[in-house]
Each structure stands twice: as structure tokens, then as C-alpha cells.
Structure 1
Amino acid sequence: MRALALLAALLTSASLVGPPAAAAPDGGWHRGTPPLSTPWTDQVGPDNALPEYPRPHLARDDWRNLNGVWQFAGGAGAPPTGQQLPERILVPYPVESALSGIQRHESAMWYRRTFTVPRSWRVGSESRLMINFGAVDYQATVYVNGKQVAAHQGGYDSFSADVTDALRPGGEQELLVGVVDPTEQGGQPIGKQRVNPVNNILYTPSSGIWQTVWMEPVAAAHITAVDAIPDLATNSLRLTVHSTGGHGAEVVASVKDGGRPVATAQGRADQEFRIPLRNPKLWSPDSPFLYDLDLRLIDPGRSRDVVHSYFGMRSIALAKGADGKLRTVLNGRFTFSLGTLDQGFWPDGIYTAPTDQALRFDLAQQKSLGYNTVRKHIKVEPQRWYYWADKLGLMVWQDMPAMNVDFGSAKPSEPRPTPQAQQQFRTELHAMIDQHLSHPSIVQWVPFNEGWGEFDPAGVADQVKAWDPSRLVNANSGVNCCYSFDGGNGDIYDDHTYVGPGSPTPSDTRAAVEGEFGGLGLRVTGHEWQPGKGSSYEMEPDAATLTSRYVQLLKQVKECELKCGLSAAIYTEPTDVENEVNGLFTYDRKVLKPDRAQITAVNREVIAASAHATDPVPPPPPGTPGLTGTGAWALDGNTADSSGRGHDASLVNAPTWTEGHTAGALQLNGSNQWADTGASILDTSTDFTVAAWVKLDRTGRFSTAVSQDRPDGISEFFLQYSAADNRFAFSTAGTRALAKQPPQTGVWYHLVGQYDSRAAQTRLYVNGVLEGSSGYCPGHVAPGHTVIGRALYGGNQVDFWPGALDQVHVYDRALTSAEIAQLYRAGT
């Protein structure tokens, strides 16, 4: 196993499939029957429970797999040393899973098995024995022969125990693991696990041992971790080889390309050194090239340790294109990131894929469908999942599992996490980052999602960036959602819109991504977790409709990519999960719901558009000069269009006339009165401006002065009073450019709303001064009428103006600030 060529063949390579270490007899273990079986369910048994080497980034030749049938007992209490436990469980499948054979939830439990140590390892005289745990949820205490050898807290990070001093001389050794998992009662990171899921976006928990357990002999001074950080600026690999007992010892690093040596370097353990690479081959989704890396730790006079690893050379950063928009760039070039919201649940193994082939399947299928990215959603996977992402070529956004949403949000009625919970979250977040630093596939860290369990998101984002400056930080995915808070920190502004897609726009410091959209649902008979109970964000009647809707959404994503500077979009989701039926595949992975060819083609079309997305944006049409506009209504006792274009307005439900800001004005009752110009005056897909003098008789309800109708039953823009903010606003369906101060009733204000398509921004001016702006793109065509005194929302006429309106103008261009100030002065 000295080269990546061997690692690439690891699914069939005997050298990486360890023999079981005197596994307990399987008497009494029986596979449970899951609500749904995957193609791999029946392949799982006592002799082949995830037999592959679990840590390809730090692999050793000698090891033994401790997966298999263990004794099991639910409950807490004193360690049952030397006692037979009543049940049998198949490790490493969670206790709640059918594959475990237990298939029930336990909040406290004991695992027991025996093992023998090969004499050839010469443990005690020449080496130490480590027992390694991929992950145990949540608190684990480990005993060997009645002696405690480890205690660990954290459900997603690996830990190890040096058990040498607890071994008996020869023969069988006893291994006991006690686990406590309070799930949502503990306040710790749990992702979407719930003992009592309250809706279809929360799922069955996974308690106990849920990743591989294995043992291996190590030298007294040995390597514990490898940080391999590519640096394309210097064509070198930044390498830190962490050790136990070998601080300052010599490290010899050998780099190979397909078995051919290409570079060597020497350094010191626990200190960073560099390996120069001549003309390095770069890692990308199109060419996921990986170098082999062999490492020797030489501690003169004491011991040597040899491990095998790999790395990829790539960079991830932010950069502005020729169009002036900030985007994410891979290896110096903009590559649109199109991916799925991968939850990582299985109907038979819950958190644990039944086999390594199953683990690979999800990623391989997403790649074959044309995606180049996967967002690992509030779960941390086994190391082999990231190996497959590295090998197959998928960029990964790695979420931190969220604390229970009930333990914190910006909603005042909900408590925030305790100081102890916050510290534990930071500890586990740091461990997640440390243990995954060397995977080239991971390009982005996501500490929070939609405010779930959120605290100090700005500070946490800064801390993550300090821990790992080599990757992007997405401080709060879905910052527009729920009760999340945007402190402006990190590299990414992340929008969630269902069904969407949304169209967030980049700023000068952050790229814009659509971190979740889609959620198109379809139930497939015979492949449902609970027949008839599945739901989604938008249910479709059949596969053909699902396919056409998906293609429609992806065409909109492409438009946002080309026009708005969107850097990424994440579709919900690759597979159904329990009763959430948004998946492209059914939960059992047996049925691909939409048409493969059409899905793949449109996905590749979106990514291919990257080549032209950063091209300079052509200027909008110059528009009509002057300050009269393409529509002008003085409202001085009549509704004539003084622009000369003949769009005289019609009064609806008999509004009256009143004293105006200049001469007369239109008085509206705020209930059902308005004025209709009878035409779609503005091309709202490009630059435009609307202006009006307004006076409110009362506040407390949304009120719109000027808008233009779209055929989907909503106004394209609203020059309005926003009751939610108690501010004037220039709004779209998803954005608001807000005034700075609440308005007073009975006072005249001059409002100007503007859409600047090149800047992808709406702006609000009050009395000639810019007061608010908001990203907005792309502008949608609104072929409905331009109207005065009401809006359209949900197909209904709404937001009638309660007060007076005067001197309304609309323009087919974005007025300059000087022109807006001049227009205000002309009215005063």
C-alpha cells in the first residue's frame, strides 16, 4: 500500500481489507428489517462489516479490523468487566439501524468484545498498540481488561487510545466501550438527528459506534496526523507531520506520480516544511489528479514509523472577473459550483452506509449526473467518503453539524446555547477542521446553517478562517432564512430560496451562492419510507413534470450565473431521506426519478457557462434623456400622462383629489382605490427608475405607491412603505432597499426607487438622498400594467396606499444621483 495506485484499488485490495481480530461469535445476531432495503443491505454480515482500511490519508500496512459482532447491553451503570452481555450488535452500524441488529434507540449502552494481538507486532517490546475509533456518538469511555484507556466527547471526530499498558501477557483481551448519547436533550452538535422528529426535515438518530474500529501497532515515536496544504503560488506542498513522542525527529517525505518518484524533502516532525513540485499537476473536478505521499518518521536510536498518504494540488479563492463581480475561483479560474445538498442518511444503516461501494455510489452518481460539487449537510462523514470525493473529483462544502435548533437562534423567545455548549461546539468544529485539512476536495467550511444553534457567527467565522486560511468560509448558509444573523464576515453570502432559485448578488468582499434551492418532490410507490407520508417543497405529479421543472430551475440558475455573478447553487437533494421526498433518487437508491439525460445535459450546460460568465457586461440601452420620463402624472386634478406617450391613468373605485405637494394630488383610501396606466411602461429586466411624492395618513400596513404587475401574480417592484420595517422601501419579492428612519404621517416625502442592472442592485432615495440599497438580479420581465396606489401579491391586489400621491414619474434608465437630487429640488 505504498502508492495511490494501491489506494485507488482499495475496494478490492486485500492489503487494505483487514482480517477480523478474533471477533466475537455471531450467535444471537440477526440483521433487522429496515423500512426500505438498499441494493447493499443483504451484503452486510459479521465477516464483512466495512472491512476496508478506514483512514486513507494516514494508512499503515499492519492493522486489524475490530468491526463485526460485539456483545451489547442497553443502559448505564458500572463497567460490566468480565461479564457476558445479553445482546449482539454488528459494529459499526448505529444502534437504531436495522443493520446493527438492535434497531431501537438507547441513550446509554455498553459494547463488549475480545481480541488478540498478533505476536509479530511485538507490542510492548518494540511497538505500542493503538485502538482507533472513527466516530462514536456521543460520549465514549473505553476500557481494556477493566482499565480505562480513553474518554472522548464528540459524535463526529475520531479518537485513539494507546492500550499497551492495559494488555495482559498473551491470549484474549477484553474491550469495553460505554456510550452515552443524549441526542437533542444534550445541547451538543447533532445535525438532523432527533429521537422525536417533529417534521419531515429531521430524521432518526444514530447513537453509539457508527464508524470503523480498528487496531494497529505503532512505533514509540509515531505519526498521528498529516496536514498537506497545497500552495500554487510557490508550486509547493506545505507539509506538517504531527507526531507523538517524536517532536523534532526527522521526517522524510517522498512524492510519487503513478509510482514514479517526482520529489523528496526532509523536515522535522511537528514543524511545517515545504516540498517543491516542478510543473505540478492540478486537482479539479475535470481532472482530479492525486499524488502519492510516503512519510517516514526517523527517531535515531529509538524507532521508525512509516505511513502512506496522498494529496492534491489546487487553490480556492475569491477574485473579480472582467465584469467586476466577485466570484469563487478554482485554480485561478471561475468554475461554477453546481451541487447537491447531501444529507448522508441510509434506510438500513442510518448514519452509516451499508458498504464502501454504497458510500461511493452516492458520490459517483452525482458526478455522473453532471454535478461538480456536493454540500455535506450538517453531518461529518467517515474519512473514506472524502477519499472518494478526492478521487472522483467533487468539490465539497463541509458543514458543521448543528446544535439542536431549540438550543439557540436569533429569535428572542428561544434560549441561546449555554457557554459550555458553545465551547463544546468550538472544540468539535476545530476537530472537524483539523482532521480534514488534507482533503483537496474540501473547498469551503460552513459553521452554521440557517441560524440553527447559532451564536457569534461573525466571531466563529473569523476563528475558522484563522484555523484554516487556505479555504473559503461560509459563515452562515441560508443567512436570509429563519432567524440567522449576518455579521458580514467570511468569504460567502449564502441565500436559501425554495423552490427558487434565489438570485443573491456578490459584494466587494463576498461571493454570492445559492446554498439551497429546489426541493422538487415525487413519491414512488414501493420506495417510500412511510407510504403516503412523504412531502417536499413542491410535489410533482410524475417524472416528466419533475424533469421539466428541474430543467426550468437550472435554466434560471444559469441566468443568475451569467447576469448576477452567482458563483454556486446547491440543489435539494440527491436522495429522499425518510419522509422528505425531494430526492433525485429514492431513499433506497433504486430509482432515479427524473430523466437522466435531460438532468445531466442541463447540469453540464450550467457549469460550461462558467467560460463566459465573467465577460464584461454590455451597457444597458441609454434610455430616454431628461427628467420627464417615459411616463409622468402630475395628478393635479387629472390623470393625464404629461410625458406625451398617451398613458393616461384610469381611476379605480373613485379616489378623490386633495391638496398636493405641488398643486393637486390623488387621495386614496388605503382599502380599494388606485390608478391604472393601462400599459406595461417599463422594461424591468434592465435599468429603470420610479419616483413619487408621497404622504401617509396612517401606518401599520404595507402600502405601495407605484408598482408593475407580473403574470405570475406578483409585482416586479414595490415603491412602498414596509410595515415589517416601519420604513419606506424600494422592494422586490425577496429584497428591500430601506430608508434609515421611520416616516411621519401627514408629511410629504419624495421617494425614488431605482434598479441598476449592471450593478445588480436596487436603491432607495428619500428627499434626494440615497438611504438604502440591496442586491437584486436578474430583473424579471413584467408585462402587466404600471399602477399607482397598489401592488400585486399572491395573485391578489394588495397594499393599497392610505394617503396622497403626487408627481409620479417612471424612467427607462437609472437616473444619476445628481438627477435625482435635481428632481427633488424641482418639486420643492
Structure 2
Amino acid sequence: MSRPRRIRHTLIAAATAVAVGLATPAAAAPPLPDAPAWHVGIPPIATKWTGQVGPNNALPEYPRPQLTRDKWQNLNGVWEFARANVGQAVPTGQSLGERVLVPYPIESALSGIQRHEDRMWYRRTFSVPATWNVGTGQRLVLHFGAVDYDAKVWVNGTQVATHRGGYDGFDVDVTGALTASGPQELIVWAEDLTDATGQPIGKQRRVGDRGIFYQGSSGIWRTVWMEPVPAASVTGLKLTPDVAAGVLRLTANVDGDTAGLQVQAVAKNGNKVVGRVTGAAGAELAVPVPNAKLWSPDDPFLYDLQVTLVSGTRQVDQVGSYFGMRSIGTQRGADGKLRIALNGKILFNLANLDQGFWPDGLNTAPTDAALKWDLQQDKAMGFNAVRKHIKVEPDRWYYWADKLGLMIWQDMPSANTGPIPAQWRDQFEAELHEMVREHQSWTSIVAWVPFNEGWGEWDRAATGRIADEVKAQDPTRLVNAHSGVNCCNSHGDSGRGDVIDFHQYVGPASPAPSGDRVAIDGEHGGFGLKTSNHMWFGDGFAYEMTPDKAALTSKYVENTKAVLTSAKMCGISASIYTQITDVEAELNGFFTYDRQVTKMDLKQVKAVNEQVIKGADGSAGNVPQPPAGTPGLTGIAFYPLDETGGTTAADAAGDNDGSLVGGAAFVAGKNGNGVSVDGGSQYIDIGKPLLNTASDYTAAAWVKLDKADGAFQTVVSQDGPTNSDFFLQYSGADQRFAMSFAGVRALGPTKPNVGQWYHLVGVRDTVKGELRLYVDGELAGTASACLPQAGPTGNTVIGRGKYGGNPVDYLDGTVDQVHLYDRALSPTEIRELYASGN
């Protein structure tokens, strides 16, 4: 009989044991020979836990905190190992030539192998305690926490399981394959081709690229263990808190003959029973939790849970568990912006990016204390959330997040950065839904993230469909369809899910909530510092390097204060800083990769983090109201450009005359004369800044293009320190008109015609946090631009822009009737201005 814990494996059942005893294969397996011995490898850098790992101390902790039993046996430790050849026969009864420490992946130093193999054999023997009564009322189940990537399992020469998937586990009932007594032989075959296939791999690569991808982890990399269970037993618990109803919704999955069986569940606060329920096995039950004490990062309270399978008055099986009562959703703040809410209250999710790699164990933390340590540092630094970045951790990582009080944004491990090949797409989706199924009961997980920066994404509509399906599978959490939808390989925003997520380095990003979706900064920061003797390659990089600890701390503090500004002005509900530790060549951690050196002043880090969480509460009045501005349609400056010669463009509204530069000349315009510029070096310089870019403003002009190709052309702008404060322009990248900031464009709908006059109006609205473009009197495009601008520093100019410190984007055409306003014109005023022809 097989016991599938996961929905996707093919489990090959051994022959069922007969009532009088266990099946007996032809020959019992020999025990492991004494030699050769296992020897730990030498990692490029070691953690403080590296030396604590050995044959008798390889992750000995109980691996499944949400479903506990008293009887179990850990099978971690020294196993035999050998490379496997294609088509090779199963080495039943044969000693293998090397020794590996399970569950550390074979590429890791802790494994003792420290190299990659595409295919591999593992072998060991084990004994079943006689007190377990296996075969006479009890079954024996083997549990594999994770094997990367394809796995097959044999017990005493009988194949009992196959499994595909590197980040989820599988279970198999091996009772029928056991011998009556003595050592039992266990052989595992694994194949991991990593980035040579379309399989989900996250950041793993067969060869680290000294960039943002890292050394892969193959084979067994989570705990292997076994336990006796009754013929009818609890195989899983689905735990869903329903705070509004005051109950825990519980489904106990039961394997075996369930006829006449019932489930009894008791919830406790210490020794005090708070609720109990009895019902059918496999049915959803409601465990009362009256006046629930709610779980939160400030108070991560957890209830104990005991679930008993009974037949009348007879106990058939019993398991222990726990749960937290909390809700996650969205609500509008006093400022009207939609934000994330925990337990019905707006709470900013201030998160660290956590990739889960270790210099000694790679995908596997050396010890449970090490696994916990990263999360403890997050809490100590004042973070209340973690983004688990395109990796899935062992159960104990989520247990510690539950216990410590950290909200988890859980990514799906991506495939390669290009589109997933068609033949692998169903597998990706199956593993995604399996990840959700396996982790749907962890209190700490508040959001699912199917895609990152378009890696693996093959179609925008498919991304939206997948987000909808995840939401249908788990409607109690947020779904972030696409982290970094503005970045990299993204196919664009599907419009689905609960979240709009931008990445920006060094950032922070500043998307705005829209409709029923909150906005978050999914990645930013990445400031780096080199730390001699604590770097994987002896060198590395970051998005912006700093010279010392003080400078790195200062950069972090400054950047995090900008997060608060983005939260107040734009309404972002979360931010994710890159990252908790250095990883291989990436030197942008709070700690070095070996966790030996603290790279920032953590007192300053905690202080600014707490300031953000407290201040980003959706309060009203965050956005200052701009002054009324100058009334009328003339504006603070107006350049009719009706002169017939000379190099002066008179200001008809005041005394801010402009100068024609580089041979720009007066020619016939839209209304009287205009100014012709050649797209090379000609423009009009006003000689000083006229628009207060820290407040609302509007720029308007008539323009006729002499060309419309891939080159940018700026009609009106104002110089900033490095880039123009704004660009009213033709965007060559889009071949449309635009009102822009550097990297932000409100675009018109169509490509303009060469030789045709157009009326352009660009509006900066600080209250709505928008740029708006009007073409010929009608709204043509909007873009979120919620962050405040600095005050003016450079000259207002007509016919060019500034980018990267240099004059750029010269207009090739004719401009006329330029107006500048110290307020945001209304749509009615813009239509009136267009109709006037001025």
C-alpha cells in the first residue's frame, strides 16, 4: 500500500504484507561496511555552525512540527554514495564506494562529496524497532523532505516510489517490502539536470555565475525519516483560521479504511481547553476559538491542537499540532489608498529578502539553530516580514517564522529566466499548487508569489490565469501574481491578483494601488560592502557599493526613510530590502555570507525600521495640498514666439524672456510664427527655472515634428541636477507623445504624423500622484508619479532635455505657443486652451 502525501508522485506499491508477517525477499541486505569513512569538505568560508555538523548531528530535530507523533526515527547521517550511469541496474546488495552525509546536497562541503553529479545513488540500511509492531497492526512510512529533482526509491530491492519535484516532499508506505527481521536496505536514485531543463530551480545553477545565480544543490537535501502509523491514520491537517467566525476550520486527511471513524479535535491555550469538535474524517470541521487571541508580529501567539482519530470509544490514531488565529486582507486607509491589513488593521509589511543559501550546506542550513538564526536577526532588526525568494524551505523554517512572528511572502521557485518550455509548463503549475497545498496551514505565510521578474513567464494571460487559480485554491491569503512586473523578462501586468509589485534598485520603488489591488515595492536597496576573508569568491558586487560600515548604514537609513515617503505619498503597503545576508558574489547583506560579520549598525537599522512601520499607517493628510496658483490660461510665462527675427523669445506674461541657442530661427508657426529647431543643438533657453517642481505645474505647447523615429525629442523641460525634472516629449522608445519623469511616462495612444500640428499639455498633479498627458485637448495617458520632487535647480528650456548630466533629446521640428503654469490645469481648461489655438 502506498501513502501519497503529495498529489503528483507516482508511488509504486510494494506487495501488501499478510497478517501473519512481513514479505521476505530472497536475500536480506548487508549492513553498511565500516570503510571508507565520511569526511567533511572544506567550504570557501565557514559558518559558526559548520563545525557542529557530523554523522551524529545531521539535523536531528523532528522535521514536521504541524503533525507530530511520539514514535519516529531520523534516517539522516552517513549513507553510501556513488555516481549513477544512465541505464545502470539498481545496486541492490552492493556496497557503494563513497560516503555522503544526508541531508546535505552533494555539491555542499557538509555532504562530504562537494561536486555535482547529474545522477546519483544513495544507499543505507535501517532497522525497524520491534516495539513499533510493524506488520501486526502498524504500517511503516518513509518520509523524504525533499530530493532534487527526480527520485526513485527501493526497499530491499523492491521499487516503492518515484517522485518529481525538488522543493516538495513525498511519503511512502514500505511495509510490504520489509523483511521479517534484521537490517532493511534503502536505495535512492536521484537525477538533477538543474538549468539544462525547464524544471523549477530558483537561483540554482550547475555552475555559479558569480552574479545573481548560485551553486546548485542536488539529491537529498531535507531530512529523511520514518514512523509507524496505524492502518487508518491521519496523514495531514489543513488549518485555516476564521477570525470573523471565531473558529479554526480544520480538515483532517485520513488514509486507510475510514468506515465508522470520527475525528476529535481539541484546541488549547496551555492547559486550558478553548474549543473542541467532533466530526467525520475528511470533512471540514469548525473548532470554536471564542475571543481568540490573535497572532501578529508583535504577539505571535499560537494555540496547541490535538487531533484524535476514534472508532467509537477506541483511539485509532492521535497527532499533535498548533495554529495561530489571524486574518490577512486589504482595506482603505484614512488617505483613501488601499493597503494591506492584518487582523483588520493596516500594517505595513517591512520585509527582508531571504534566499536561503549557506556557504557550507548550500540549500540546506547546517543546523536548526542556523535555520532559526536568520529569522531571529530579522526580528532583532525590526523587520516584521520576510520574502522567501524563489525557494521553499523545510517545515522547521516556517515553524520558526510562526513562533517568532514574521509575515512570510512565499515565492514559487522559478525555472530559467526565459519562457518555460511548453513541455514543462504543466509541471511548473503542478509544483506551484503543491507548494500552496503543503504550506497552506502555516500561520506566518500571508502571500503567494507565482512569478518573479518574468522568469519562466510564457504569456501574460497565462500568468493572470495562474494567479486566479492560486487565489481559488487559497482565498485566505494575498496573491502577488508577478513580483517585479515592471522589470526584466516581464510580459507586463496581467491585472490579476491582489498586488501591484515593482522592483527598483536602489529605489525604493513607488507603484500606487489601483482598483482592488494594493501596491508594494517587491525589491529595492542592495547596498554593498566588501569584507575581507568573509567573501565566497574573494570579491563580489552590489547594486551600489559603499566604503565602510558607517557609509553602508547611512545608505540604508536614507533609503528606508524614502520607503516611508513612498508609503505616505504613494500608498505602498510593503517593501522588501535586498537582503539579509551576502550570497556568493552578492555583497549586499546585513551580514556576510558566513553569518560571521555584522555589516551595519543594527541599532540605527532597527530605529528607522520601527519608524517606517509606525508611520506607514495610511493616515490622512500625508500629501501636502499645493497652493492655488496663478488663475487664467495665460500662465506664469507665455511664449507666443511671434518674433520675425533675432534671438530673443519674449515672455508675454512677464519678464522671463528666452534666448534662441545654436541657430534656432523664427518661422511660420501654428498661430503666427513659431521657432524651428534642427534636432542637433538648437533650443530656447529661458535662463532660469520657472516651474516649482516641488508642487503642481503644467506645460503646454503646439508642436510639429519633422521626423518620428526611435529618437527621443523634448518639447519643453526643466534641467535638474542630473536629469530633466520633467519631459514634455516625443518618446522614441514608444514612438508616442509623453509626459515623463526619468523612467516614468504617461503615453499617448498612437504614433504622431510627421508634419502635423499637435497640441500637447503635460500636467504634474501632486495630490493624485500623477503625470497626465493631453493631446489636442483630450486626456491621452496617465502615469503614477507619487513621490515628491525636489525644488527647481536648473533652467527651463524649450526644444531639448537633460539626461545623465548631458543635454539630450533635441527637438527636430517647430514649436509654438508655449505656456507654463504654477498649477495643474483642469480638463476643462485644457480643452479651452486647445480650442483657442494659443
SS at match of 2:141: strand
| CA–CA distance in structure 2, aligned partners of residues 452 and 306 of structure 1 | 43
| CA–CA distance in structure 2, aligned partners of residues 424 and 736 of structure 1 | 38
Which digits, 9 at most, give the CA deviation of each residue in 1:391-415, with x for residues without a partner? 1111111000001114x1xxxxxxx
- The aligned residue for residue 433 of structure 1 is 436
The 5 Å alignment of 1:149-548 reads 149-245=160-256, 247=258, 249-300=261-312, 304-406=316-418, 408=419, 416-418=420-422, 420-455=423-458, 456-485=462-491, 486-532=493-539, 534-548=540-554
| CA–CA distance in structure 2, aligned partners of residues 560 and 730 of structure 1 | 21
1:366: Cα distance to partner? 1.1
CA contact (8 A) 1:220 1:303 kept: no
1:303: Cα distance to partner? 6.4
Over 3 Å counting, the alpha-carbon distance change for 1:404 and 1:654 in structure 2 is same
Over 3 Å counting, the alpha-carbon distance change for 1:322 and 1:616 in structure 2 is farther
1:260: Cα distance to partner? 1.8
2:566 to 560, 570, 579: 560
Alignment-mate amino acid for residue 654 of structure 1: G
| CA–CA distance in structure 2, aligned partners of residues 284 and 176 of structure 1 | 44
Which digits, 9 at most, give the CA deviation of each residue in 1:225-254, with x for residues without a partner? 111111122121111111212557311111
| CA–CA distance in structure 2, aligned partners of residues 233 and 708 of structure 1 | 53
CA contact (8 A) 2:81 2:99 kept: yes
SS at match of 1:405: coil
- The aligned residue for residue 53 of structure 1 is 62
Over 3 Å counting, the alpha-carbon distance change for 1:263 and 1:117 in structure 2 is same
Alignment-mate amino acid for residue 473 of structure 2: W
1:257: Cα distance to partner? 0.9
Which digits, 9 at most, give the CA deviation of each residue in 1:528-558, with x for residues without a partner? 11113x1111111111111111111111111
2:803 to 793, 816, 828: 793
SS at match of 1:553: helix
The 5 Å alignment of 1:77-92 reads 77-92=88-103
| CA–CA distance in structure 2, aligned partners of residues 24 and 576 of structure 1 | 40
- The aligned residue for residue 36 of structure 1 is 45
User: Runs of 5+ in structure 1 lacking a partner?
Assistant: 1-21, 409-415
- The aligned residue for residue 662 of structure 1 is 671
CA contact (8 A) 2:155 2:177 kept: yes
1:780: Cα distance to partner? 1.1
Alignment-mate amino acid for residue 525 of structure 1: S
2:585 to 557, 574, 579: 579
CA contact (8 A) 2:121 2:187 kept: yes
SS at match of 2:204: coil
Tell which deviates more after alignment, 376-385 or 240-249.
240-249
CA contact (8 A) 2:698 2:820 kept: yes
- The aligned residue for residue 603 of structure 2 is 597
1:24: Cα distance to partner? 7.8
| CA–CA distance in structure 1, aligned partners of residues 622 and 599 of structure 2 | 39
Over 3 Å counting, the alpha-carbon distance change for 1:276 and 1:426 in structure 2 is same
1:614: Cα distance to partner? 5.0
1:301: Cα distance to partner? 9.3
CA contact (8 A) 2:36 2:98 kept: no
Is 1:702 equivalent to 2:702 in the alignment? no
1:650: Cα distance to partner? 2.0
Which digits, 9 at most, give the CA deviation of each residue in 1:672-695, with x for residues without a partner? 111122222222233222111111
Alignment-mate amino acid for residue 264 of structure 2: V
- The aligned residue for residue 773 of structure 1 is 782
Which digits, 9 at most, give the CA deviation of each residue in 1:209-231, with x for residues without a partner? 00000000111111111111111
Alignment-mate amino acid for residue 92 of structure 1: P
| CA–CA distance in structure 2, aligned partners of residues 616 and 586 of structure 1 | 37
1:449: Cα distance to partner? 0.4
| CA–CA distance in structure 1, aligned partners of residues 837 and 210 of structure 2 | 55
- The aligned residue for residue 692 of structure 1 is 701
Is 1:72 equivalent to 2:72 in the alignment? no
| CA–CA distance in structure 2, aligned partners of residues 543 and 108 of structure 1 | 44
| CA–CA distance in structure 2, aligned partners of residues 253 and 808 of structure 1 | 75
CA contact (8 A) 2:32 2:80 kept: no
Tell which deviates more after alignment, 762-771 or 685-694.
685-694
CA contact (8 A) 2:81 2:98 kept: yes
Which digits, 9 at most, give the CA deviation of each residue in 1:705-741, with x for residues without a partner? 1112222x01121111011111011111121111111
Alignment-mate amino acid for residue 369 of structure 1: M
Is 1:131 equivalent to 2:142 in the alignment? yes
2:121 to 110, 128, 132: 110
Alignment-mate amino acid for residue 634 of structure 1: P
1:276: Cα distance to partner? 2.1
| CA–CA distance in structure 2, aligned partners of residues 223 and 614 of structure 1 | 50
Which digits, 9 at most, give the CA deviation of each residue in 1:477-523, with x for residues without a partner? 11100121211111111111111112111111211111011111111
1:610: Cα distance to partner? 2.5
Which digits, 9 at most, give the CA deviation of each residue in 1:792-822, with x for residues without a partner? 1111110011111111112222211111111
1:618: Cα distance to partner? 5.0
| CA–CA distance in structure 2, aligned partners of residues 404 and 462 of structure 1 | 23
Alignment-mate amino acid for residue 241 of structure 1: A
| CA–CA distance in structure 1, aligned partners of residues 495 and 798 of structure 2 | 36
| CA–CA distance in structure 2, aligned partners of residues 79 and 614 of structure 1 | 69
| CA–CA distance in structure 2, aligned partners of residues 272 and 694 of structure 1 | 67
SS at match of 2:488: coil
Report how many aligned residue pairs link the two structures.
795
1:26: Cα distance to partner? 7.8
CA contact (8 A) 1:24 1:113 kept: no
Over 3 Å counting, the alpha-carbon distance change for 1:85 and 1:775 in structure 2 is same
1:259: Cα distance to partner? 2.6
| CA–CA distance in structure 2, aligned partners of residues 235 and 300 of structure 1 | 28
Over 3 Å counting, the alpha-carbon distance change for 1:23 and 1:732 in structure 2 is farther
Which digits, 9 at most, give the CA deviation of each residue in 1:80-113, with x for residues without a partner? 1111011100000000000000000011001001
Tell which deviates more after alignment, 742-751 or 197-206.
197-206
Which digits, 9 at most, give the CA deviation of each residue in 1:754-806, with x for residues without a partner? 12222222111110111111111213114222221111111111001111111
| CA–CA distance in structure 2, aligned partners of residues 200 and 807 of structure 1 | 51
Over 3 Å counting, the alpha-carbon distance change for 1:626 and 1:25 in structure 2 is farther
- The aligned residue for residue 3 of structure 2 is none
Tell which deviates more after alignment, 132-141 or 755-764.
755-764
CA contact (8 A) 1:220 1:302 kept: no
Query: What TM-score do the two structures reach when normalised by structure 2?
Result: 0.93
SS at match of 1:621: coil
CA contact (8 A) 2:417 2:489 kept: no
| CA–CA distance in structure 2, aligned partners of residues 681 and 270 of structure 1 | 71
1:621: Cα distance to partner? 2.0
